[in-house]
Amino acid sequence: MKILKWIDENLEKMICALLLTAMTVVIFLQILIRVTAKYTDISLAWTEELGRYLFVWLIYISSAMAVKLRAHIKVDVLKVVFHKRGNFVLDLISNAFFLLFAVVFTYYSWNAVYRLAFVRTQYSATLHLPMWVPYFSMVAGCGLMVVRLIQDTVKLIREYRAPETEEKEVEA
C-alpha cells in the first residue's frame, strides 16, 4: 500500500524529472556539436528530433501533474463573488468540463495512435522511431489527467463535506 501511495504522490514528478534531464542532456549535446562543428566532422541530426519528442512528452505529463496540484490557469473572479457552496459548485463544473475534454481528447488521440501503430505505420525522419511513440504522449498525459481529475473531484467533495461533519460533531 505504501508503494501505491508513493506512486500516486510522485509518479508525474519522477517522469518529468527524467524527461527534463534527458531533454537537457540531448539539447546540450546538440549545442555542443554545433559549436564545435567547424573543428569536428560529427553530425548528430537525431538530437533535435529526440529533444522535440521529449519536450512533447514533458508537456503532457506535466499537464497531468498540474491537474493534481490544481495549478492550471483559471479565472478566479467568480470565486470572490460566491461563498463556499458556490465555489464548490463552480469547481465541480470546472472539473466536469475539464474531465469531458480530457476523455474526448484521450479517445481521439488513442484512435490516432492505433492508426499509426497498426493501420498506417509511419517512422520519424532521423530516429526511425515509430510515430505512435511520440503520439502516445497525448494518450498517456490525458489519461493521467482523467485519473487526476477524478481524484480531485473526490477530494473536492471530501473537503466540502469535512467541515460540515466537524460542525455537527461539535454541536452534538
Distance CA(49)–CA(47), nearest Å, equals: 5
Q: Is residue 81 part of a domain?
A: yes
Nearest to 155 by CA among 85, 95, 86, 100: 95
Q: Is residue 94 part of a domain?
A: yes
Q: Is residue 99 part of a domain?
A: yes
Q: Does position 164 have pLDDT exceeding 70, yes or no?
A: no
Domain ranges, residue 114: 2-164
Q: Is residue 95 part of a domain?
A: yes
Q: Does position 171 have pLDDT exceeding 70, yes or no?
A: no
Q: Is residue 170 part of a domain?
A: no
pLDDT at residue 139 in the model: 97
Q: Does position 14 have pLDDT exceeding 80, yes or no?
A: yes
Distance CA(87)–CA(81), nearest Å, equals: 9
Q: Is residue 172 part of a domain?
A: no
Q: What is the pTM assigned to this prediction?
A: 0.86
Q: Report CA dihedral (7, 10, 14, 16) to the nearest 10 degrees.
A: 120
Mean pLDDT of the chain: 90
Q: 46-77 as b/e, with b when 16 or more CB fall inside 10 Å?
A: bbebbbebbbbbbebbbbbbebbeeeeeeeee
Distances (CA, A) of 13 to 6, 10, 69: 11, 5, 11
Q: Is residue 64 part of a domain?
A: yes
Distance CA(145)–CA(77), nearest Å, equals: 24
Q: How many domains does the chain have?
A: 1
